[in-house]
Amino acid sequence: MAELANCSRCGKVFVKSIRDVCQSCHQEEEEAFRVVYRFLTKRENREATVMEVVKATGVEEELIIKFIKQRRLRTSEFPKLAYPCKRCGVDIVSGRLCANCAEELRNDLEQHEKKNKFEASRKDRHEKIYYSIDKHKK
């Protein structure tokens, strides 16, 4: 079911379906994509970086990164297109985190899980201890 939303680019209210932008902004994005794609398909520009594409085409960096994340611009075709890791800023071609940050996060989560498991087992051991009182002892 369609819902009302504000365009993430211009702020206008529109009926949201698949896109997060209104129809006019979508058309602008499509034109920007055509400009970027035309630039990159030229033999001498295939290995351009994102910043080189921004300078040559005038298209915003965020929009080019959006095209890469949507896989409209494939890094297999254009090997130097990359965007920064959300955590450390190193260039990556997919996802939100680089391999190092992802591994570090995975290790932190494993340590947290081990700690929680240890705490739970310690609590279980204390709950299973029963004490008896010898009523006949003087």
CA dist., res. 81 & res. 92, Å (int): 9
Q: Tell me how long the chain is.
A: 138
pLDDT at 125 (0 to 100): 64
pLDDT at 109 (0 to 100): 93
Strand partners, 16: 3
Q: In terms of pTM, does the model score above 0.85?
A: no
pLDDT tens-digit readout, 85-121 = 999 989 998 889 999 999 999 999 999 999 988 887 7
Q: Which of 46, 53, 51, 35 is CA-nearest to residue 84?
A: 51
pLDDT at 137 (0 to 100): 65
Distance of alpha carbon 59 from the chain centroid: 21
Ranges of residues in the chain whose predicted pLDDT is under 50 = none
Residues 6+ apart with CB under 8 A from 25: 7, 9, 10
Distance of alpha carbon 120 from the chain centroid: 33
CA dist., res. 114 & res. 117, Å (int): 5
